[in-house]
Amino acid sequence: MRPLLAAATLLMLVGIAWALLAAPTEVFQGLPQRIMYLHVPAVVTAYVALLVVFVGSVLFLWTRQARWDRLAHSAAELAVLFITATLVSGAIWGRPVWGTWWSWDARLTTTLVLWFIYIGYLIVRAWAPGSRGARAAAVIGIVGVLDIPLIHWSAIVLRTLHPQPTVFRPEGPALPASMLPPLGVNLAAFLTLFVALLLLRVRQERMLARLVEQLEAA
Amino acid sequence: MGYVAAAYTVVVALVLVYALTLVARQRLIDEMAEAAATDEAGR
């Protein structure tokens, strides 16, 4: 875990330095466009975390093994962290470019709904411990993922303030080639950080479960 | 540059605060494990 955390820290330092000091300045937006090097990796990492929640929740409901629940719970906590980073960085990017911190357009609203769904997931975990809470949370974890296609298609199908996808498109990225390497490093940094924190969090949940078992047996 | 600095500061701070809560939680778990082991040895 420590080598992973060290790798994530190193990648993040390189990625941030590259994004702030060496990446090209975009012609229309100017400096605020550099927030993209945070915003895009944050949302991709949030989606990966939600995919882990989905897989963990499905496997928990199927097998009833607590380890899948521990995986889903840990990933949900990280998903909330990265969705928060997405919303906050997007708002700060929106102010100089759109002239507003927030707009109730389809993409922003569906992303906020996603955040609320997983805040709800964590509230259920906190207020209903045990297998009943785990089952309810697993259902929320599965249903919540359905919001991701809505978020993705909202900017394509509907007229939104948020631009259409420029990185992950079937026809390839629309970004200039010189912006892709710093974006790639930041994406690798966020994903490495996610894996490191997830492993740490799952280990904590396992240790806690063992402690509870010990206390109940005593 | 102010908006860019604000975005990077807020996101890094978010991650750091979360990492610190994990460290605090780990300390708590270690203390609980130690107390449980002491109880076990005392029995």
Q: Check if A74 contacts B (Cβ < 8 Å).
A: no
Distance from CA of A131 to the nearest CA of B (A): 21
What pLDDT, on a 0 to 100 scale, did the predictor assign at position A48?
A: 97
User: Which of A96, A204, A215 faces B3 most closely, judged by CB atoms?
Assistant: A96
What pLDDT, on a 0 to 100 scale, did the predictor assign at position B36?
A: 82
A211–B26 C-beta distance less than 8 A: no
pTM listed for this prediction? 0.92
Segment A31-47 shows an average pLDDT of 95
pLDDT tens per residue across span A168-216: 777 777 788 889 999 999 999 999 999 999 999 999 999 999 998 888 8
pLDDT-derived band at B39 (thresholds 50, 70, 90) equals confident
Q: Helix, strand or coil for residue A141?
A: helix
- Specify which of A100-104, A158-162, B37-41 reaches the highest per-range mean pLDDT: A100-104
What pLDDT, on a 0 to 100 scale, did the predictor assign at position A43?
A: 96
What is this model's ipTM?
0.88
Q: Helix, strand or coil for residue A145?
A: coil
Asked if A167 and A183 count as a contact pair (C-beta separation under 8 A), the reply is yes
Interhelix angle for A36-63 vs A131-144, to 10°?
130
A35–B4 C-beta distance less than 8 A: yes
B22–A85 C-beta distance less than 8 A: no
Asked if A197 and A12 count as a contact pair (C-beta separation under 8 A), the reply is no
